[in-house]
Structure 1
Amino acid sequence: MPYLIAGILLLAFVANVVIGAVSNAPLVNNIWEMLILFAAAIAFSIGILRSEAKEISEKKSKE
């Protein structure tokens, strides 16, 4: 789920950049762009940490 959230936020950022490049009027300002990227990075980090925790617990259960 965190990867999905990160992907959606990243797509929103890319869409904003593309729309801003084509029409010279981005949908959100620079602060919101930063917050969208920050939220995407946090969601991706949570996904990585969950994946690592799951992998470690699976290794311990095999031992």
Structure 2
Amino acid sequence: MFMFASLIVFLVYFANVAMGAFWDVTYFGDVGEMLVLFAATILFVVAILQKEAARAKRDDS
């Protein structure tokens, strides 16, 4: 679930950057882009930590 959320948030970030590059239209400023990318990073880290915990639990049993 967190991996999917990370992908969605990153796609929002990427769409904003692509629209700014190709059509000179952006919805987020510099700080907004930073916060969206930070949110995607945090969600990705949470997803990886959950996968690591599940794998460690599986290996222990």
Gaps of at least 5 residues in structure 2 are: none
Partner of residue 33, structure 1: 33
Q: Distance in 1 between matches of 2:57 and 2:24?
A: 50
The TM-score normalised by the length of structure 2 is 0.94
RMSD: 0.7
The amino acid that maps onto 2:20 is: G
The TM-score normalised by the length of structure 1 is 0.91
Larger Rg: 1
Gaps of at least 5 residues in structure 1 are: none
Partner of residue 58, structure 2: 58
Partner of residue 47, structure 1: 47
- Among the aligned pairs, what percent are the same residue? 36
Q: After the TM superposition, which segments of 4 or more aligned residues of structure 1 sit over 3 Å from their partners?
A: none
